[in-house]
Amino acid sequence: MKYLSPKLRNLLFISILFSNCSADRFLKEGQIALSENKLIINGQEKKRDFANQLLFPKNDKRLLISSIKYKLNSWSKESPEQNFKNWIEKKPRRKERLNKILSPKQVEQLKIYYLKYNSWLVKNGDFPTLVDSSEISKNIKRLKQYYKNLGYFDVQIKHDRKKLKNNFEEIKYLVDLNERYTIDNIVDEIESSDLKYIYINHLNKSFLKPGNPFIIKSVEDERNRLLKLYRNNGIYNFQENSLQFIAKIDSSGIDKKIAIVLKINPIRKRDKDSLYEIPYKKFKVSEINLFIESQNEEGLRYDYQDNFNDFNIYSKTKLKYKKKAITDPIFIKKNEWYSDKDRAQTYGYFNSLRNFKYPSIIYQKNSDSTLTSSIYLTPKERFSLGLDMDLSHSNIQNIGMGFGLSTSVRNIFKGTEILDFGIKNTLGASRNSADTNDRFFNIFELGGDIKIRFPKILSPFSFEKLIAKEMNPSTQITFGTTLQENIGLDKQYFGTTFEYKWRPSTNKRFIFKLIDLEFVNNKNVENYFNVYRNSYDRLNTIARNSELTDNYFDPNNNLKIPYGTNLFINNVKNGSISSLSDNDKDLLRSISERRNRLTVNNLILGSSLSLNYNNQESILDQDFYQFRWKFEWVGSLLNKFLELTSQKNMDGNYEINGVTPSQYIKTDVDFIRHLPLGRDRIFAFRFFSGVALPIGNSVNIPFSRSYFAGGANDNRAWKAYKLGPGTSDNNNEFNEANLKISINMEYRFPVIGSLKGALFIDSGNIWNFQDNVTDPRASFDKISDLSEIAIGSGVGLRYDFDFFVFRFDTGFKTFNPSLEKNKRWLSEFSLKQAVFNIGINYPF
């Protein structure tokens, strides 16, 4: 073996492993293993037909995984407790020796460990999939019923068993569909005139159309449609069991057309030995009562009573809410027909207010054939308090400890508003801190924010026609600030937003930020080269190669920070130092431009509109897509005002107290698609693209609003901020730009139990586009620059803890555009150069 190359040794090892992993090694005498179920429809194999999901048992085609499961199962014991007893009593003195070495208590614990280990083997192990005649019969019955439900009532199904080597068999299910049955006509037998009128007026929305194939699902859809239709049009007591569909099929099989009779029976009730019928009819709501209960009081006495806009309001204590605030969420209307939809919307609106527990809505039938609606609200506690603590790690902090306090105040202005106040303090340790004292916790951050939520659109103009209350509109005002000490440039952040939110449907949401204000003040710009060491190293190299006096350098012959760095850059700019090469001048200018951009104070004032669409019905739904679009416009109104009131500075820009307001437009699109490929197997796809264009008063984009690439949720073959821009060689701590394209693909599959696996391909990059960056390697100038998209691929393991997923991904640089052209493909595809990512939940 030592004379074989490593590749040949690995190949031989894999061959031996797979040759010993055949399932027939685990078969008992007379057993036959299932190789594959095949579905043949009208003479053609259908691998992607849904009917394949009805064929059982399923054979796991992953040879290695299957053999591991078989082996685990073979190690398990049917009677583990007895097996442990037999083992410990096999040798006369074994138990005595174990008791002396471990103690009797530890021997008993050893038994418990063995039982748990055996349970794990049983849970994660598996038998080879066997051919079972009874299962074949069940499969044929399932297939027949499935195709009959699709209208193929004359379907014929046979099976064929084909023997393969090593005690395997392949089962073919031969399906002959024959002619499909269609709907002839629909006849309704509806006695109630109210039901008949509603049915005729909405007949155009029926799922049953003459000439269409007869499909059982269409009948079920029609049943559900009629149930909702009647219960939303005044028939408050309509019951599903009153609907009856009768299909008239030609028993001879000659006529392939089916007549359907829709029959709606009245309510049947029994009184002692008599059975009588109650005809359906429409009901209107004649009275609406709203009861506000106190949390700490019981009894039915209501001290407060009032009438407001057709609502009777009752409260056990003095009313603590504005009447309009607690009646606006009610969609039930007086003197209108009963509607299930109005009832559900009322539930939803009150829940979204976060002021009440789940409401109770009760209807009572009156003697005059009307309904009284009673709504009971139980207020939540007005004050709530939350505490949290977290540990963090970042490029700046080696370790950070955060402590947070949050409190909520409900109904602060008696209009079901909510005031949220939060404060957070972080202590951290960093080697790059500007603090020269020898302290472990040498960095500090303190932040706080205030949020006020109003359950309506706050505006001097009415938007009810555009944003109806069915969309659960709300207005949120936010104020926030953060102060840092010994963290990077010691930023001071102030921000405020004024935004509207509304939901046109359950899966669609809009967010319109009318005011989005952000001000960033860098207090310690002299610390720049201590933080951005890559920039400093390049500048220091240029300075060392120049003929400079000693006052630029420290005793170690490095540029002093900040005196030496600032003096060197300024002297090159004003021409005092002219010995630099053109390349060094270009590099120094690039370093200076980046420093100025990252140290400048930012004033960002603009607006944005976001659309979020998600058709996922529940967390168990694996076939869905998400779409997010956002558009920002920043600085236009502010700079228009400055044009009328201010003069431009020496650089040709408008300023406010020495700060140049940013001006740009930005838009991005994020699309996610999940496709199920079988049980617990999913293909996940994500596309992201965004661009931010500086306009007017700006020549670049603020750092906080730029794009970056790499990281655990992006291109996993690169660390965060380390990819791009373009073909540049990743020479900054934080690489960012104003154009981004990203495509991610991932195949997720089960491994054993709660352990899942993934294969992924990530691609994308960032570029500078239409800004002041002149480096052609970092800029996007033409469509052929798309060839600079980086590609990473890799594998991942995920463990599902039910309430969250722990994720470990390994990414390999498959195509690195920053390398020479002949070295871009697979030259860094090795475990030594892989990037390991740890994350919580899936990346997309």
Q: Is the pLDDT of residue 81 over 90?
A: no
In which band, very low, low, confident or very high, does the pLDDT at 275 lie, cut at 50, 70 and 90? confident
Would you call 591 helix, strand, or coil by DSSP? helix
Amino acid in position 296: N
Q: Which helix (H) or strand (E) holds 224?
A: helix 216-231
Q: Is the pLDDT of residue 152 over 80?
A: yes
Which residues in 598-628 are b (16+ Cβ under 10 Å) and which e? bbbbbbbbbbbbbbbeeeeeeeeebebebeb
Q: Is the pLDDT of residue 498 over 70?
A: yes
**Other CB atoms within 10 A of residue 474 CB:** 20
What's the pLDDT at 819? 92
- Report the pLDDT averaged over residues 581-610: 89
Better-predicted residue by pLDDT, 814 or 651: 814
CA angle 803–406–326, rounded 5-degree value: 90
Which residues in 685-713 are b (16+ Cβ under 10 Å) and which e? ebbbbbbbbbbbbbbbbbbebbbbbbbbb
Q: What are the tens digits of pLDDT across the range 153-182?
A: 999 999 999 988 778 889 999 999 999 999
Q: What are the tens digits of pLDDT across the range 314-330?
A: 998 899 999 999 999 99
Computed over every residue of the chain, the mean pLDDT equals 88
What's the pLDDT at 694? 93
- Return the structure tokens found at 227: 């149930």
Check: CB of residue 682 under 8 Å from CB of residue 748: yes
Would you call 167 helix, strand, or coil by DSSP? coil
Check: CB of residue 229 under 8 Å from CB of residue 202: yes
Q: Look at phi and psi of residue 405 and say left if phi exceeds 0, alpha if psi is from -120 to 50, else beta.
A: beta
Which residues contact residue 837 at a Cβ distance below 8 angstroms, ignoring those fewer than 6 apart? 711, 712, 716, 807, 808, 809, 810, 811
Check: CB of residue 768 under 8 Å from CB of residue 793: no
In this prediction, what percent of the chain has a pLDDT beyond 70?
91
- Report the pLDDT averaged over residues 479-501: 91
Report the C-alpha gap between 710 and 216 in whole angstroms: 50
Amino acid in position 816: N
What's the pLDDT at 546? 86
Would you call 135 helix, strand, or coil by DSSP? helix
Closest-CA residue to 597 (of 486, 455, 489): 489
What's the pLDDT at 33? 83
In which band, very low, low, confident or very high, does the pLDDT at 16 lie, cut at 50, 70 and 90? very low
In which band, very low, low, confident or very high, does the pLDDT at 583 lie, cut at 50, 70 and 90? confident
Better-predicted residue by pLDDT, 642 or 254: 254
Q: Is the pLDDT of residue 273 over 60?
A: yes
What's the pLDDT at 134? 93
Would you call 539 helix, strand, or coil by DSSP? helix
In this prediction, what percent of the chain has a pLDDT beyond 90?
58
Report the C-alpha gap between 579 and 565 in whole angstroms: 17
Q: What are the tens digits of pLDDT across the range 608-664?
A: 999 999 999 877 788 999 999 999 999 888 877 877 777 777 777 888 888 889 999
- Return the structure tokens found at 799: 């463990």
Q: Torsion angle, CA of 487/489/490/495, rounded to 10 degrees?
A: -120
**Other CB atoms within 10 A of residue 286 CB:** 14
CA distances from 774 to 374, 528, 769, 771, 778 (A): 70, 22, 10, 8, 8
What's the pLDDT at 12? 40
Which residues in 339-376 are b (16+ Cβ under 10 Å) and which e? bbebbebbbebbeebebbeebebeeeeeeeeebebbbb
